Structure 1
């Protein structure tokens, strides 16, 4: 079953969110401390991802052009509107926090990263789900902490993960037929580093150290793919 790993990842996020929802009664001081620790951990994860690149020019150019494109489209605003629409269908507020904020934050944390791409590719190409199952365990614990501070909206991150990883897994066979192995390896490497920068931005925002419209950085992923492709052919 090509979507087994994706399904496990999404289900563990849902379970973690439900558990975290029942931990919302903890004092605000403890919640703030937990959020600070999560933010710090996210930054460390971002740094680890960021140093994977052997060509930081690609990362810098991708982030700059991608962010300019994101600001022009204003993806942050569009995602917030989508989150607000979902919020209006569910409730005006989550038990502890804004559903739109929880949706965006959890989606970026769970979906961006090399494990999502590599795990989905392994599921699609080799029917090996070990990477995504491992990621699901990590995501489950992260969901507990996020849901305890951001609320039930974190569960929407499971939907984003299922769609994102599922699409990659389903089309992985087709990707391998048309994309040379060395190009795919380079893309994953540079995407990991670029995603690491976004993860660091998420951590800084979670710790309240900076207000960054992280969603507007997402087009950098497409720019990475474009640059890697151009480098291969030219």
Structure 2
């Protein structure tokens, strides 16, 4: 099965980012600030809605703790920054926000209920409705992000296609593994990471979300073992 929904999602991000980059030089600083604030407020609501799906709070907390420690030991933040830096050099970009753009956009587009559930729906049922809807939302979000961060946002389509495509292919092969409980726990964990993104966008607190990403895998394991 080809992950068509993920390919469409990637194309929407590319299109939205191109528009945002073209608008980038026309936005004064105060406009960019209000865009960030609007995005931050919207993202925090999405994160709260997702996190309220939690079924076992202890598993969620231990997943974040264990996942965070694993991320620190693996130094995922440094790895992502190096990869983004190499990509920046490869495309010859001089954009100062390139690295922050690709990392922030990738986290927003990948860590979400629609990314997870949409990929599962396509893999299990062949239904791309959720991913097509997400594509529209991500397209508009990438306009706002690229107008602030610049060209780096465009290249977030790469992790989005890889991540969602892998979930789709995995779900189509192991669909019996994903119970409603696992999906709810995974969604809730992703919701807390989404809230972390909003805190960064609102300049309240910069949270090292890259190193918390392993918690998404840990919560599946712990839910299978103890859920």
TM-score of the two chains, using structure 1 as the length reference: 0.92
User: Is 1:202 the equivalent of 2:197?
Assistant: yes
Q: How many angstroms does 1:2 deviate by?
A: 3.6
The aligned counterpart of 1:52 is: 53
User: 1:173: Cα distance to partner?
Assistant: 2.1
Q: Please show how residues 147-162 of structure 1 align to structure 2 within 5 Å.
A: 147-162=146-161
- In structure 1, the residue matched to 2:169 is 170
Give me the whole-angstrom Cα distance separating, in 1, the residues matched to 2:202 and 2:64. Answer: 22
**Deviation at 1:79?**
0.5
1:50-79, CA deviations, whole angstroms, 9 ceiling, x for partnerless residues? Answer: 111122111111111111111121111110
Q: Distance in 1 between matches of 2:170 and 2:189?
A: 23
For 1:225 and 1:121, the matched residues in 2 are separated by 14
Q: Distance in 1 between matches of 2:35 and 2:167?
A: 33
What does residue 105 of structure 1 align with?
A: 104
Q: Is the Cα–Cα contact under 8 Å of residues 98 and 151 in structure 2 kept in the other structure?
A: yes
Matching residue within 210, 216, 222 for 1:215: 210
Report 1:81-96 matches (<5 A). 81-94=82-95
Runs of 4+ in structure 1 off by over 3 angstroms are none
Gaps of 5+ in 1: none
The SS at the match of 1:186 is helix
Contact 2:182-2:223 within 8 A present in 1 as well:
yes
CA RMSD between the two structures: 1.4
2:221 corresponds to which residue? 226
8 Å contact 1:12–1:136 — kept in the other structure? yes
Cα distance in 1 for partners of 2:28, 2:113 equals 35
Aligned equivalents of 1:93 and 1:197: distance in 2? 33
In 1, are the aligned partners of 2:55 and 2:181 still within 8 Å (CA)?
no
Q: How many Å separate the matches in 1 of 2:131 and 2:209? A: 24
Unaligned runs of 5+ in 2: none
CA shift at 1:171, angstroms? 2.7
Distance of 1:40 and 1:176 partners within structure 2: 34
Matches within 5 A, 1:7-156: 7-24=7-24, 25-94=26-95, 97-156=96-155
Q: Deviations over 1:147-186 (max 9, x none)?
A: 0001111111111111111112123221125x2xxx5321
